[in-house]
Structure 1
Amino acid sequence: MISNLAAGVRAFTSNAFYVDGDRRVLVDAGANFDVASRVADEGGLDALVLTHTHRDHVGNVPAVVDAFDVDVWGFDTDQDGVDHAIADEETVRLGDHEYVAYHTPGHKDDHLCFHSPDAGVLFAGDLVFQGGSFGRTDLEEGDRPLLVESIERMVDVLDDDLGAMHTGHGPSVTDRPYQHVEAALESACADGRV
């Protein structure tokens, strides 16, 4: 089961997805709210996995580590708080399923997406969002052509069997999520700067 522990929070934060199962994992910690108590209400935690290290996704990392004594996994161990690196196309266990990690820079250099074909689930971070929106490229490390390449990669990896897309902001997408990824690619290419 996957639940967004940031649901209903009125603060600057990313979503924070609790993935229950054999390996209880929090995908992104969010910021500016007490996610540790929400994790405790769910029954505890085995690991914290990051899509990327923008402040709104990692602000609560110290509180989660302090509360549950868990390791933090992400793409780049040179980033503060990341204990273990996840390589491109490495398999990681989230809940009861294996997910393939895809390095998808463009929004931030250390950005990862996680896809489980068996579960039919994508954790998209800030790469793409509901309705064909896509991650900002006007921040440090932002790169529009690189973001387009990353979205193209995910369009190639995914297909219509995708059942759910959990994004870094906004609602999760369960109605034809693959079409939202395709729309994001179209939108990212539309302004002619790519």
Structure 2
Amino acid sequence: MITNVARGVQAFTSNAFLVEGDRTVLVDTGANFDAEPRIRERDADLDAVILTHTHPDHVGNLEAVKEAFGVEAWGFDTGQPGVDHAIADGETVRIGGDSYTALHTPGHKDDHLCFHSSGAGVLFAGDLVFQNGSFGRTDLEEGDRGKLIESIDRVRERVDEHLAEMHTGHGPSVTTNPYHDIELAGRAARMG
């Protein structure tokens, strides 16, 4: 079960996906809202936080969530505040009841990760790609359009038309042909 606990929040935040299962994980924490009661109302026993990247809108609630649930955070770079454990490129991580492969996907931010489970048909895309072929900003510090295009290509080559769900850092999740949205993002990023 995947629930966006940031759904309906009017403040500037990223999505924050609670993935329930034998290892209940919050993928990104969002910012500028109280995440704790939204997690507790799911009756979820949170085991860990996994971060797609450490922009403030994705980690604003990190310390509060870690303290409230007594959990630690995993991300690409333990040099970033709040990241307790590193996830290496290509490493397998357990999210909910499925195994996901971590893909280092810089271009929006150097520590950006996507998480793909071929078994579940799910991709957590962070701010790499969004619905309708939108893609992550490259005008912020550490942004790099060339790297972003390479990262989109890498994800597109990793997933296939059987991808059922793409959960993005902002906006709605894509549950109808998300592979097409990834292809569109690759083309759009090359045109920009």
TM-score range, shorter chain: over 0.9
In the TM superposition, 1:1-194 aligns within 5 A as: 1-42=1-42, 43-191=44-192
Q: Provide the rounded CA distance (Å) in 2 between the counterparts of 1:145 and 1:67.
A: 39
Q: Provide the rounded CA distance (Å) in 2 between the counterparts of 1:49 and 1:40.
A: 18
Structure 2: runs of 5 or more not aligned = none
Aligned residues: 191
Q: Secondary structure at the residue paired with 2:175?
A: coil
Residue 27 of structure 2 aligns with an amino acid whose one-letter code is: V
Q: Taking structure 1 as the reference length, what is the TM-score of the superposition?
A: 0.98
Q: Secondary structure at the residue paired with 2:182?
A: helix
Give deviations 1:146-179, integer Å, cap 9, x for gaps. Answer: 0000001011101001000000000000000000
Residue 40 of structure 1 aligns with an amino acid whose one-letter code is: R
Q: Provide the rounded CA distance (Å) in 1 between the counterparts of 2:96 and 2:145.
A: 33
Q: How far off is 1:187 after superposition?
A: 0.2
Q: How far off is 1:29 after superposition?
A: 0.2
Q: Which of structure 1's runs of 4+ aligned residues deviate more than 3 A? A: none
Q: Provide the rounded CA distance (Å) in 1 between the counterparts of 2:36 and 2:135.
A: 29
Q: How far off is 1:44 after superposition?
A: 2.5
Give deviations 1:52-88, integer Å, cap 9, x for gaps. Answer: 0000000000110110010100000000000000000
Residue 114 of structure 2 aligns with an amino acid whose one-letter code is: C
Q: Provide the rounded CA distance (Å) in 1 between the counterparts of 2:34 and 2:70.
A: 16
Q: How far off is 1:41 after superposition?
A: 1.4
Q: Provide the rounded CA distance (Å) in 2 between the counterparts of 1:163 and 1:129.
A: 15
Q: Provide the rounded CA distance (Å) in 2 between the counterparts of 1:77 and 1:140.
A: 18
Q: Secondary structure at the residue paired with 1:52?
A: coil
Q: Secondary structure at the residue paired with 2:41?
A: helix
CA-based RMSD: 0.5
Structure 1: runs of 5 or more not aligned = none
